[in-house]
Structure 1
Amino acid sequence: MTQLTTSELIQIRRHLHQIPELAMHETQTRDYLIEVISQMNLDHAEIRDQLSALPTAVLVRIEGRDPQRTIGYRTDIDALPVDEQTGLPYTSRHPHIMHACGHDIHMTVALGILNYFLEYQPRDNLVFFFQPAEESKNGGKVAYEQGVFQDKWRPDEFYGLHDNPDLPAGAIGCRMGTLFAGTTEVNVDFIGQSGHAAFPQDANDMVVAASQFINQVQTIISRSINPIESGVITFGLMQAGTIRNVIAGSARLEGTIRGLTQVMIERIVDRLQQVATGIASSYDCEVNIEFNQGGYLPVENNPALTERLIKFCKQDSETEFIETAPAMTGEDFGYLLSKFPGTMFWLGVDDNSQLHSATLTPDESSINKGINSINRFLEFRMTH
């Protein structure tokens, strides 16, 4: 295979779009990726797949002609449990699953970059990581903890992109500091005493306790967090009670914490713990609070590498660069950036629908533009 043409890249993207799979179940996706990669010039490359902890992952390493470093490039490959409503002729063939976050675009761009450097052997080593389980199950964290990035597979720096419907097709967006917030799941269980609605003195109502907890939590962001910084606490699920005339003896809240730095997230966690302890004391009940962050740390870009990327994009006449604000959405690339210096950036796909929407329809002209900009940057990086 020589350089992939625009029409071939679009065909690849559309095939990937038709076979979306959920985290850790990306078997068809893995097989198709290997099929495409196997047709490329692999004279200076090595493929790894069927990893014990990540059986759907694919890694490709290109040996540089005069390597000074190993550069990592990561793309995510999983999809979301969304019923597609685009009406496209290449709509998802898998019921209730869709590439509603644009990972089909991510993979296609990665394949285009890989194909280019397989044809034009780079100076430095390149490691491509086609990562399962970004949307859930912490694929990046699992890979790191299982020792995937060791010896010749260890990158000195890591890069990755995410598509952005709000940016023009093919534009590169980035910023110094945090690009994506870190996210932490929080579950709170309240245990009291159920009873007849007519005899509240003989029960301990957990609807009241949970409600007061929610009210007090609202003050964490407004009174415990520096207003110049950013944090979010949202409880999207509340379960309590069985019938109107029985006092609920238990209640459960499920929510999410988001912050632009790990310090911010840990501060919010501490305050939630304190509020839970106070409610337990005030309402003479048991309050159990559980946190789960997994691999979803803030995507905190390395200052030196990000400055170099932004400088290149601004100077490159063929790249449209847009400085972007931080986003409160989460991305598990943050975990890898906590272990390796690196940068995540946006690729504009110019769409009226937002990420995770059933109608997301990225502009496919972004694929070739993104590949070309990233290829030029990586070649620039290898000499600077």
Structure 2
Amino acid sequence: MTMTVLTEEALIQIRRDLHAMPELALKEVRTSAYLEKVIASFDQTNLQVKHIKDLPTALLVRVTGSNPKRTLGYRTDIDALPVSEKTGLPFASKNPGVMHACGHDIHMTVALGVLSYFSEHQPVDNLIFFFQPAEESENGGKLAYELNVFEGEWRPNEFYGLHDNPDLPAGAIGARLGTLFAGTTEVNIDLEGKGGHAAYPQDANDMVVAAAQLIGQVQTIISRSIDPIEGGVITLGKLEAGTIRNVIAGHAHIEGTIRGLTQVMIEKIDQRLREVGEGIAKSFNAEVTVSLNQGGYLPVENAPELTKRFINFMKNNPEVTFVETKPAMTGEDFGYLLSKIPGTMFWLGVEDDSQLHSATLNPDESAISKGINAITAFLNDRMTA
């Protein structure tokens, strides 16, 4: 059953247009203008468009319900990644060094399809569509929330959103109770000691040695401070120290990331990391500064009752292939919005050999219409409860 007023041909063209014009976080000027142009072609009877002065590439659309008991929110992200595309597709990125390597072009097209349906078929409940900039960096969801965008008639009672998944069959819906995506924290550590001549270590304070000890101790946080049944990751991916082989380094800089499936878990890892830094500072008589920045990248913790309803609907819909999925350690800033407004994030299968963030990602476009049909059917069903 086709639920969108946009044809499959039109949807694929929209996706390809968006794919060819990827833009980085907070720079999605052409993308936002294109989205608004498509939305302007819909029946405007029940639509209201809202711009955000301090977040100019964001776009919100409100659909007035016929007999609303609630307001349902639907979010899509619109930014791309600093990746040089290698697909060789005729509609490949025309913006060198930038690509929709995370499939946000698919996300946007599905959102437009759902909106097009409800522009022609007035929903019972009110709907808010949030076309969000800056998911990949700069936490656009948090920025919007802190700008008080979701107030009054623009505040959803529930929020929904998808992420495409190349490991699932095209058009399949994947979901789970609990956490779908981990929360992430950026780690920056600076160690200050005293530089000196390599031949006179007694007159210096070597931060290469101190950094090595810190890195070794950090590896014990997950293995010895975290319940093995729960999930957590610390990766220290960058280390800078020294200038030449015969000079003792007086400064070292380390960068990394923390991932956790609950906010409580992330905060526990944060605390242990600070304590390790304090211990290294005392052991080496050094200054150790541990800077942690989580921003809006909280765990995507799905609301239990809403997610049960969502899963039950998808499982019982004969037109939907449903897959119960495991949590992923990748991050998604929709977690911030779900920490403020209950809701559910789910997967849309796009079946591809390449993974997300890959320069060769090429999602199966047949997933678009299937995703739109599943989502519009669910929202219609939700409005009857």
In the superposition, the TM-score normalised over structure 1's length comes to 0.99
Q: Does 1:8 align with 2:10?
A: yes
The aligned counterpart of 2:84 is 83
The one-letter amino acid paired with 2:49 is: I
Q: Does 1:113 align with 2:130?
A: no
The aligned counterpart of 2:25 is 23
Matched residue SS, 1:75:
strand
Q: Deviations over 1:262-286 (max 9, x none)?
A: 0000000010011000000001110
The one-letter amino acid paired with 1:69 is: R
The one-letter amino acid paired with 2:229 is: I
Matched residue SS, 2:252:
strand
Which runs of structure 1 show a deviation greater than 4 angstroms over 4 or more consecutive aligned residues? none
The aligned counterpart of 2:280 is 279
Q: Distance in 2 between matches of 1:41 and 1:237?
A: 52
Q: Distance in 2 between matches of 1:10 and 1:383?
A: 31
The aligned counterpart of 2:145 is 144
The aligned counterpart of 2:96 is 95
The aligned counterpart of 2:294 is 293
The aligned counterpart of 1:44 is 46
The aligned counterpart of 1:59 is 60
TM-superposed deviation, 1:292: 0.3
Q: Distance in 2 between matches of 1:197 and 1:229?
A: 44
The aligned counterpart of 1:167 is 168
Query: Superposition pairs for residues 217-232 of structure 1, below 5 Å?
Result: 217-232=218-233
Query: Superposition pairs for residues 245-256 of structure 1, below 5 Å?
Result: 245-256=246-257
TM-superposed deviation, 1:182: 0.2
Q: Distance in 2 between matches of 1:52 and 1:276?
A: 41
Q: Distance in 1 between matches of 2:223 and 2:5?
A: 54
TM-superposed deviation, 1:200: 0.7
Q: Does 1:347 align with 2:348?
A: yes
Q: Does 1:334 align with 2:335?
A: yes
Q: Distance in 2 between matches of 1:303 and 1:377?
A: 17
TM-superposed deviation, 1:165: 0.4
Q: Deviations over 1:191-224 (max 9, x none)?
A: 0011111111111110000010000000000000
The 8 Å contact of residues 70 and 127 in structure 1, kept in 2 or not, is answered as yes
Q: Deviations over 1:1-35 (max 9, x none)?
A: x8100000000000000000000000000000001
TM-superposed deviation, 1:53: 1.9
TM-superposed deviation, 1:378: 0.4
Matched residue SS, 1:46:
strand
Q: Distance in 2 between matches of 1:54 and 1:365?
A: 33
Question: How much identity, in percent, do the aligned residues show?
Answer: 69
The one-letter amino acid paired with 1:110 is: A
Q: Does 1:318 align with 2:319?
A: yes
Structure 2 portions without partners, runs of 5+: none
Q: Deviations over 1:9-65 (max 9, x none)?
A: 00000000000000000000000000100000010110112x122100010000000
Q: Deviations over 1:167-192 (max 9, x none)?
A: 00000000000000000001000000
The aligned counterpart of 1:357 is 358
Q: Deviations over 1:269-309 (max 9, x none)?
A: 01001100000000111000100000000000000000000
Q: Deviations over 1:153-178 (max 9, x none)?
A: 00000000000000000000000000
Structure 1 portions without partners, runs of 5+: none
Matched residue SS, 1:59:
strand
Q: Distance in 2 between matches of 1:302 and 1:155?
A: 14
Matched residue SS, 1:338:
helix
The aligned counterpart of 1:33 is 35
Q: Distance in 2 between matches of 1:148 and 1:284?
A: 48
The one-letter amino acid paired with 2:213 is: Q
Q: Distance in 1 between matches of 2:153 and 2:50?
A: 12
Q: Distance in 2 between matches of 1:28 and 1:243?
A: 47
| Corresponding residue pairs, total | 382
Q: Distance in 1 between matches of 2:177 and 2:32?
A: 33
Q: Distance in 2 between matches of 1:273 and 1:91?
A: 44
Q: Distance in 1 between matches of 2:123 and 2:6?
A: 17
Q: Distance in 1 between matches of 2:178 and 2:54?
A: 31
Q: Distance in 2 between matches of 1:317 and 1:3?
A: 22
Q: Distance in 2 between matches of 1:285 and 1:68?
A: 60
Q: Distance in 1 between matches of 2:308 and 2:265?
A: 24
Q: Distance in 2 between matches of 1:317 and 1:191?
A: 62
Matched residue SS, 2:209:
helix
Q: Distance in 2 between matches of 1:308 and 1:254?
A: 41
Q: Deviations over 1:116-172 (max 9, x none)?
A: 000000000000000000000010001001000000000000000000000000000
Matched residue SS, 1:10:
helix
Q: Distance in 1 between matches of 2:60 and 2:113?
A: 15
The 8 Å contact of residues 74 and 159 in structure 1, kept in 2 or not, is answered as yes
